[in-house]
Structure formats: structure tokens, C-alpha cells
Amino acid sequence: MVLLKWEHTPGEAWVYLVILTSIYILYILRTYIRSIIYISQLNGPKTIPIIGNANSILKENFLYRLAYESQMYGRIVRIWLTIFPYVMFLEPEDIQLILNNAKHTQKVFFYKLLDNFLGKGLITRDIKSWRIHRRLLQPAFHLHVLEKFTNTFAKHADHLMNKILEKNNQEINITTFINDSVYNILSETVLGINRINRINEMDDLPFRKGQIMLLYRMIRPWLLIEWIYRLTKYGREEEKQRKNLFDTCFKMVKEKRDLLQSKDRISNNDIKKNKNISLLEYMVEINEKNPCFSDEDIVEECCTFMLAGQDSVGTATAMTIFLLANHPEWQNKCIEEIDEIFNGDTRFPTISDLKEMKCLEMCIKESLRLYPSVPIIGRTLGEDIKIGKHIIPAGCSVLISPYSTHHLPHHFPDPDTFKPERFNSENSEKRHPYAYIPFSAGPRNCIGYKFAMLEMKSIISAILRKCRLQSIPGKKEIRPKFRMTIRAQGGLWVKIIERDQILKSIAA
């Protein structure tokens, strides 16, 4: 019997290695390749090589044009963010398929670029951790708990109103005042720090000192590689800012734990009683009962609530005030409603009072329709979905633009006009529930949307109880600037007139 010996040459070995390596790479990139094959069949805006649509997607007219050009591209729009392919949904029925399904709760890759700024809180966490944290934190945002914060909202709103009255008969950029007030509210409700009594002192907390570098990195694809980015000046600065945030929060967690250990423990019964505790205290107590919710988790969530809550609520509140100044007929309706609720009483509003402010709520909702705080939401498909004749593969990245959807003319006729009546009960019932999504929707919606609405009502109603707002010639236009949140270029300018002064002039 003769045995044949098959000997491999070095060249053949390299060929096999290359083949095996190629197969492995294709396996790793199978979802990416499948997405590219699918997305190449779709229509979408013109792209720039390598950058794709990243340089233009957050420009002023891009998301606006998508709403009006959606018929040109079809039901599903192709978008490229650098080398990453996305599909964008604009129609409410399609958006509902994504946001209402727990299988599609994974955030897209670009959210990871926010980790250094926001921390790995509810906004950016992976699905498994997010589910645990959401379940643990949700009770802190139930309405009966938020009711205990209304006095805090009112106290800071009253302080803001007095600061504004110092500018009586003057033109002011309302954004600056509102942002300061929102920051003070968050400092007390999230961290347990009352800043009103030390408002003129140097603020040594790091929550207003960082900047989001996501867009900077998006249009420079090589900086999407983390180790390269960390070698850059901005990468080092962001890492330093993250360290400052974490060091500060860890110190607060330790101080809060030491304080609580010297007192009676917080319990669920305390939550149910008329006891006002900060979110930090609540999370420290969660840690005591659930060791899986670590100190690092507390710090991550604190950073998320402090940083994400500033721009979103601050901008929405300032936008509403500006729009009321430029639409005096609706401002008058809100003032009449507020005067009827309080009937000359100078007390702080209760949660019942805030619920009665239906007209003000319509105005806030219409402001959020025109300028939703977060203009783009991203998800990753957990399974194949079918939309019309399209089968979109699992793993594909999906973009949803509340700004674009809110401007679809067939859902919101005359979409550029401020019409709060869109949100009366009759009109709201007729509209698709996913046509209006300023706080996202479904299982991964904004956990703090009720908190935000009560906060905004408290601030705006406090101002309208003492002031009238006037528009300023030449400064009546909002120029939105799209980042992770919408901002107003050049600020939002209004003139403040004390209501008592108006009554005196009429009497004279």
C-alpha cells in the first residue's frame, strides 16, 4: 500500500490564510453588507464621497426639505452618514413599526460617540442595561412623585420672573435667562443642590462646561476610530471633561450616602409620603437594595439627566415664550386662562393648577411641533420588517426625524404656521399618534417627558402672571441651528413689559 504525502508550499498556505481571513471578515460584516445591498436600491438626497450626507443632514434646510420632498424619494429615504448606510422613515405608520416594537430599541452606532459627554445613561445604554435601569428609575417619574417637585419648579420660576422684571421695558435674549433657570431646577431636583441662595457665586460644577463633538467627528470619519480620536486635542479635552464630571458625581454620591446613613433610610413609603428627595438620593437608595445598580451607574445617569435635560427643556421653553411674544392673540388666551386659575391669588401653582393650563399646554406642544428639541432619533432593527414592497433587513440602521415628520403638510396643513389649536382634544384625536413625537415614543421614549412638561408650564406661567411679552422688529424670525438638539442662532429676543405698568398706564 502506497501513501501519498501532500505537502503545502508556503505560497499555498498564504492563499488559504487569505481565504479564511476574507471569509471571517465577510461574516463579521454580513449585516453591514446586507444593509448596503438593500440601501443601494433606494432613492435619497445627493451625497458627497466618504462624508455622504453627514455634512448637510443637520443644516437648516435639509430636514425641512425632506418633509416637502418625501414624495420625490418614496416612502423610505436613503441616507449616508460617512460610510454608514441608513434608511429614514417620515410617515407615522412606519415610525410606529419601529418605536412601538421592543425588538427595535437598540440605539445606532453614533450614540456611542455621546458617551464621553452624556455618560452611558438611559439615552445611550445597550438594551440589556437600559431595561434594568429603566425599570428601576421609572417610579421616580410617576406623576404622584413629580407632584412633590412642583414647589421646586415654582420657586425657581418665581426667582426667574423677578430677574426678568429687572429688565422691564428692555429687550432681552430670553434664552440666557431660561437656561440658567432650567440648570438651577436640575441642580436641585437631580443633585439636591439649591443654587438660588448662591446664584452669584462661581459655579464650580462641570455640567455646563463641555461640548458635544459628535458632529465634528462625523464629518471626519477617521476620528470615528476611538483610539485615533483620543490622540487629538479635542479627544483629550473631552476625556478630561468626562473625568471632571465623574469625579464630581462620585464625590456627591459619597456625600449623599454618608448623609443618608446618618438619617433614616429612604423607602418606598417615603416616596409615597409628602417627602421631596432628589433623584441622586433615590438612586443611592436603589444601590442599597440592588447592588447591580452600581455607583458608576448612578454617576452615568446623573450626568445624563443633568446634561440632556438642559438644552432640551431650555430651548423648548424659550421657543414657546418667543412664539407667544410674536403671537399676542395666543399670549392673551394663556394669560386669561392663568388669571382665571389663580383669581388674583399669589400662591405657587399646584399640580392641579398646572393640569388646568390647557391653552398653555397647546402652545407648548405646537412649539415642540415646529421645533422639537431632538431633531433626529436613531434605532437599529432587531429583525426584518416589511414596509409596502420593501423588506428592510435586521441590523439596518434607521433614522427618524421628528422635525421632518412634524412638517409633513398632509398631517399638519400649513405646517410652518404657529397654530396651537392643532392640539385641542378634537384635532389630536383625528391625528395619527406617531405624527407627533417630540419626546420619541414607545418603550424607549423620554423617561422625563412629564417632568419636562410640568417644568415648562411652571416657568412660562410664572412669567405670564407678571409680564407681557412683546416681539421686537427685525428679530421676529427663528433661525434654527441643528445639533443633537435644536438651538436658535442669534438667540430669541423679546421685550418684557410688567403687567402692573400696563394697568397703570391704562388707568392714567
Hey, which residues does 106 pair with through a beta bridge? 380
The Cβ of residue 109 has, within 10 Å, a number of other Cβ atoms equal to 12
For β-strands 76-81 and 390-392, DSSP reports them as: unpaired
Hey, which residues does 440 pair with through a beta bridge? 438
Half-sphere exposure of 109 (CA within 13 A, CB side): 15
SS3 17: helix
Q: For 111-135, b where at least 16 C-beta lie within 10 A, e where not — what string?
A: bebbbbbbbbbbbbbebebbeebee
For β-strands 84-89 and 397-400, DSSP reports them as: parallel
Secondary structure in 3-state letters for 351-378: HHHHHHCHHHHHHHHHHHHHCCCCCCEE
The CA distance from 500 to 506, in Å, is 10
The Cβ of residue 364 has, within 10 Å, a number of other Cβ atoms equal to 26
Is the Cβ–Cβ distance between 84 and 57 less than 8 Å?
no
SS3 26: helix
Q: Is 446 annotated as a binding residue?
A: yes
Secondary structure in 3-state letters for 364-423: HHHHHHHCCCCCCEEEECCCCEEECCEEECCCCEEEECHHHHCCCCCCCCCCCCCCHHHH
The binding site for heme comprises: 446
Binding-site entries: 446
